Amino acid sequence: MSETLRDLSGNGQNGRESRIFALGGGKGGVGKTVLTVAVGIELASRGRSVCIVDADFAGANLHHVFGFFSPPLTLYDYLVAEESDINRFRLETTVPGLTLIAGCSGRLSLSNLAYQHKSKLLRNLQRIDADAVLLDIGAGSAFNQLDVFNAAHHGLVVVTPEPHAILDAYNFIKLALVRKLHRAFRHHAEVLDLLGMEKLAAFYHTPINFTRLTEQVAQLSNGTHDQWQSILTAFRPAVVFNMLEDLSEQVECHALQIAVQEMLNVRIKTMHFVRYDNGFRRAIRRMNPEGLFSTSGLAAADIRRLVDSVFTPQNGVHHAMGAKSYKSNRYWEEIRDNRKTVICSSTCSLWGNCRHQNGGRPCRIKMLGFLNQH
């Protein structure tokens, strides 16, 4: 693996650090593109320069949102050009301060991005001269999606509260982590061997067990375990649950959080919620991106909280829709007061085999199928 794919986590140009954000997730249609645009507009309205990159190589469509039918310059043009200054491929949009590097659909060579093109893109992302760079990643968990997601300073997994979307998100997080570990230990035969054993376990329908893997890594040579542990600790994606219609849907979100923490040993950095808002669809249909913020304000207010929390370094990630407000809403108060809906843990000895979990309802995590995930 070349150096270029792992360099990105370094500092940005002009002393600006940690300003590349990727919005990804396994499933299509969950709102990655719309949220990327909404967040971009909100940041731009706060006076930040923003560049959105359409990194949906196979299904680029972000330019439509900004009213471009056939963008004069695209990411494809950049990748095949001799030119190395990516800034020359940015398009002005109708939103002051917001530029776009448009994707290009219908090109086989972009859908199946060649290695040198992916390297060129990842190597040059941090040369984009903007306060924030937002990457809209396409659906799926192929290497292209995972590598772009892992290359960003901050990863946001977008998901809706349906079981299949949650499973896709879980798998996306797991595969992004496995891909990270594979790359970090690519010269370390023993660790690769262990990761290989996990493949074998998957073949026999045993879920990947990161706790067991970590114990095995601890037996290996000095330093390996530390490096392994630091990768697991540093890998902390945020999760954005989009299109919530009802606060009770947050229980599914919590199931994802528990599953990721307990089965992958990964801590989700923050959980965010964006409500369903018909005005979003209208704005997209009318190709009026600013219309995302002229709605009744339900989702727009959630976007503002998301930006407060994740995209404003001086605010850090502890404010707004972080764990505090997440726990203090009506739904969680009801759980606390009535203990109606106990969410079970995979460490329970009756895990998966209990008649009384969730007050007699099926175990949430088992119901969502995490236990069958390899």
Ligand X SMILES: Nc1ncnc2c1ncn2[C@@H]1O[C@H](COP(=O)(O)OP(=O)(O)OP(=O)(O)O)[C@@H](O)[C@H]1O
| Alpha carbons 331 and 325: distance in angstroms, whole number | 11
* Residue 243 in the binding site for ligand X (CB under 6 A): yes
Q: How far is the CB of 317 from ligand X (least distance, A)?
A: 21
Stretch that binds ligand X, among 92-100, 275-283, 320-328, 353-361 (CB under 6 A): 275-283
Q: How far is the CB of 296 from ligand X (least distance, A)?
A: 11
- Smaller CB separation from Mg ion, 105 or 309: 105
From the list Mg ion, ligand X, none, which binds 157 (C-beta under 5 to 8 Å, kind-based)? none
Residues 279, 299: contact at Cβ < 8 Å? yes
* Residue 29 in the binding site for ligand X (CB under 6 A): yes
Residues 252, 166: contact at Cβ < 8 Å? yes
What 3-state DSSP class applies to 23?
A: strand
Residues 89, 66: contact at Cβ < 8 Å? no
What is the per-residue binding string for ligand X in 31-60, x denoting contact by CB under 6 A? xxxx---------------------x--x-
Q: Give the one residue of 8, 20, 22, 30 binding ligand X; rule: CB under 6 A.
A: 30
Q: How far is the CB of 99 from Mg ion (least distance, A)?
A: 18
* Residue 299 in the binding site for ligand X (CB under 6 A): yes
| Alpha carbons 25 and 153: distance in angstroms, whole number | 16
Tokens representing residue 13 in the block? 């140009």
Tokens representing residue 283 in the block? 């704005």
* Distance in angstroms between the alpha carbons of the first and the last residue of the chain: 25
Q: How far is the CB of 58 from Mg ion (least distance, A)?
A: 10
Strand 238-244 relative to strand 91-92, pairing: unpaired
- The CA–CA distances, whole Å, from 140 to 28, 237, 269 equal 7, 17, 22
- Smaller CB separation from Mg ion, 135 or 310: 135
Binding site for ligand X (CB under 6 A): 28-34, 56, 59, 138-139, 242-243, 274, 276-277, 280-281, 284, 299
